[in-house]
Amino acid sequence: MADGRVERGNRTRRTVLQRTMSIASVDGLEGLSLGKIATDLGLSKSGVFALFGSKEDLQLATVRAATDVFTDLVVRPVRAEPAGLDKVWRLCERWIDYSAGRVFPGGCLFCSAAAEFDSRPGAVHDEIAKARSDWTRYVERLLDEARLTGGFREGTDAAEVPQLAFEIIALMELANAHSVLHEDPVAYERAGRGILSRLRAVAAAPDALPDRPSPVNSPV
């Protein structure tokens, strides 16, 4: 009986977080309400409150659930690939597919959450900042692995890696923002062309990378 209650609680938690991730990507994390979500999903308010004791707890759980979704869709599919700039490009393609495919209806949840909490100290701010820092470090790590395995042209310094990661992430995030605001999927193709241009510029074998990105499938 105890195991049954735990499993029901886990199912309820998953149901609630699926809903809160969608809401947060459109209305922001501040748009979350325990009572309203319980009503919307036809769940017991007391049960939802027992799982998430406060609005902040719900916001934190939503960010962590979104991190798991992001990892499953963007990071994990390329982990086993051999180091190189082709791996970096495939990671970027996964990110573009994640944003353009509207996994979250408001686009990348982390982009909107960062804008919402960037100047607001507290636990939610720290959780969002950690998620974004982890992502930046991961992109930098893949780029540095490509450099160390001979993927960069001769003479490329390690100091160029953080700058390149910054530019790649900036292009992806601008595509997300432009697409969401203007309902314009072409932004993703432009970002892809920009990323490929930067990768080919530093590549020891630029012809090993595509000339242009594949067409983007977007519901926009």
Question: What digits encode the pLDDT tens for the residues 105-128?
Answer: 999 999 999 999 999 999 999 999
Is residue 88 within 8 A of residue 147, CB to CB? The reply is no
Q: Which domain holds residue 153?
A: 58-206
Position 82 confidence tier, pLDDT thresholds 50, 70, 90: very high
* Domain membership flag for residue 37: no
> CATH no. for residue 122?
1.10.357.10
Residue 25, in any domain of the structure: no
| Tens-place pLDDT, residues 166-203 | 999 999 999 999 999 999 999 999 999 999 999 999 99
Q: Is residue 47 part of a domain?
A: no
pTM, two decimal places: 0.93
Whether 67 is in a domain gets the answer yes
Residue 215 counted as domain residue: no
Q: Which two tokens stand for residue 1?
A: 């009986």
Domain assignment present for residue 11? The answer is no
Measured between alpha carbons, how far is 131 from 67 in angstroms, rounded to an integer?
7
Contact between 172 and 193 (Cβ < 8 Å): no
* Helices and strands, number each (H, E), in the chain: 9, 0
Whether the predicted pLDDT of 2 surpasses 70: no
More confident residue, 86 or 6: 86
Domain count within the chain: 1
pLDDT at res. 62: 97
